[in-house]
Structure 1
């Protein structure tokens, strides 16, 4: 089958899957792979979970779409559950993470406008990634994804991630024009970059003091990925706005923007909308995913298996000449390498039956389903080490041999 009729926006491996179950995928020839990327942090409860399959099947036979001209029962149920879990008050449902972030940026604009700021500014982080719409590209960093799209809309100020002094300096210059700070609690696309401990709490304090909105992009970190429902809960704070997508639908497209009452109420009928956002199918699946995570104890499992995976990777790779750092939280882990080798890494991992992601050219990003067990952690460790060994042999570099688990 030819891909000539598809726009050339991706660089997929010559690999296509016929089915998935739990943490495994099978290609067209029937070969099995351990999925350590989960559709980029999407299939958090695993592939073809029987309860998700049942919810999709039943709802498809009942009702898929009515539009937001009418009340949608499953939408209200999912909104209630998300607000209970997060401590935020109201939800707007979208179809994707980029749309959820666009919603957050519109709220920041309205917030500034209601404060009488003619040209409100939003502080964003260097090396951030918030989506590929023109607005979210403006808030993102990285010349490759922005090339050819200038001038981009929006007024943003970029500061280094984790640098409170830089934020304070920006406040001295532009404080009266700033309406919000938008950031990822852990920067995923830039290589699983963790903020210093206490950073989110310090941001919360500064935003309170300066009457700025604290807006967190939890599209990748949310829905249990870091061992809590949301990454901000590790620091005991609550943002003013939070965006979700990815793991919320386990593969069914859905996004959400949550906000405190005083911010959410800036929207009025007609000020924002979405044709498909919050349809019965997507919201029923979202409710089912949250139930599965609770009932199967997947937050605890993500924390425990994430810690185990970090320990095992550090034990096996601590002396490896190509490994610069291994970092992460929960089941969101990055292995930073000294030199770029994306294509070789992806192909070698595939050949060893392991599916990984390499971001920014030289950081192996591991995002397995939250359902993984001890044995699968060892399989990931073994697969990563075998992959590095294969790449080294191809490049004529030194060896990496994993110890027996």
Structure 2
């Protein structure tokens, strides 16, 4: 096994419990896609890591001990992960949740989600993809009840994004439960599945009646899962807006799965800022507005960055929010701290009175590294606006 010498800055990060290896700490690194022994400048052993570039970082520390990333090692990790999620296994009203969450469960670079009887592996770099057979063998030993599995390729270099990897094959689309609500999902069609599982708790607040008797506008709605949750929680009207043409078909599927009539639920294919202008022209107002944009987006007219432009969304939303209305503001930008996100939110309010009613991070099944702030990437606030 090759040895990797780290500088003092990287050593301090590892000792603090931050396991991601960052490119800035290794400007001249030539090793890749392999396990290495990590040592400090004095030659002291710090742990076992692997090197492989992904969308963040160039590798992960996987143990402070000398270990081999084989099936036996992964069996131990999966057994611990399974035990942590015993409450989800026993839940009668939820059948889709995360089984293994990167460094939160002891190994950065891949995740595993459960959709009814099917597992979905997401590989984030070449190294974990190269050892996937050891990972799959261990998983099947620990989770024999899982009928079959699929994979998503979330790094560049392969000619496909999605595939069946073992066991039974799932239907092209099927229904899962979350908080008693039915959602249509798909496991072998590009990188998406029809629902973002990390928003369990936020959708639960809507199912529990946060929007009961109210009108709700859901921007950047994807498949309108927030809207379906709100409708099941008694919302009298929902409008779901997304730029993707396919969003309408996928959104309607959630509503039909729950036996919801569509006459009070509208699906609009439009860019969010264009919809703000449309709503103002037509004097529309909403009691609850959900803002869950991508971290960064670009179209022919403009670019949008959560870190720089979220305040614009807030300001526009306030113009079409009913008096004493609610905003649900969300971001999954790992590089944006909670304090910086709140600064951007406050910039949008520009002194207008408001109260933070609830705050959400990742749900319990998305176990994260509590010593690494960026590991708990999800930041959501429910805000009551005094106007």
Relative to the length of structure 1, the TM-score reads 0.31
Which structure has greater strand proportion?
2
Q: TM-score, normalization: structure 2? A: 0.32
Q: Taking CA–CA contacts closer than 8 Å with sequence separation of 6 or more, which of the two structures ends up with the larger relative contact order?
A: 1
